[in-house]
């Protein structure tokens, strides 16, 4: 399985496990250079953007394996809360919800 297929499969798993299957369709791409305009460029290895009704998650194709799940989940939170920022009350609440749902066990 390629990295992009793996990311898409992981997206579906996280969607079912942590978002009740309510995520919109997201076009997930592995890229060498993350988009830096018109979206959220994160401290991790990903970026989320929206064009019309379509969401895009870009993942750095060079990121270490250990960061895949964490980065993908981070970008999924951007999709859910779009266009709220990392510093919003909603973001903090969502991170807390994911922690309580056991997400940290995925990455620790
Ligand atoms: Zn971010």
| CATH number reported for the structural domain that contains residue 103 in this entry | 3.30.2010
Which of 83, 80, 66 lies closest to 98, judged by CA? 80
Q: What is the pLDDT, as a whole number, of residue 38?
A: 60
pTM: 0.93
Centre of ligand 1 to C-alpha 40, Å, is: 6
Centre of ligand 1 to C-alpha 92, Å, is: 12
Residue 56: domain span? 3-107
B/e letters for 24-33, b = 16+ CB within 10 Å, e = fewer, are eebebbbeee
Residues with CB under 5 A from ligand 1 (ion): 40, 42
**Structure-token match 């969502």, residue found:** 94
3-state secondary structure of 67: helix
Centre of ligand 1 to C-alpha 102, Å, is: 20
CB 84 within 8 A of CB 93: no
Q: What is the pLDDT, as a whole number, of residue 36?
A: 63
Number of domains in the chain: 1
Residue-wise pLDDT tens for the chain (108 aa)? 777 889 999 999 999 999 999 999 999 999 988 876 667 777 789 999 999 999 999 999 988 888 999 999 999 999 999 999 999 999 999 999 999 999 999 998
């Amino acid at each position: 399985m390629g990295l992009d297929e793996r990311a898409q499969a992981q997206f579906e798993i996280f969607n079912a496990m942590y978002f009740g299957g309510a995520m919109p369709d997201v076009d997930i791409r592995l890229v060498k250079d993350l988009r830096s305009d018109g979206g959220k460029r994160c401290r991790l290895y990903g970026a989320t953007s929206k064009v019309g009704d379509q969401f895009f998650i870009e993942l750095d194709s060079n990121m270490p394996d250990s960061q895949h799940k964490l980065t993908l989940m981070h970008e999924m939170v951007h999709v859910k809360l779009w266009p709220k920022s990392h510093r919003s009350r909603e973001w903090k609440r969502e991170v807390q919800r994911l922690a309580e749902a056991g997400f940290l066990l995925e990455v620790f």
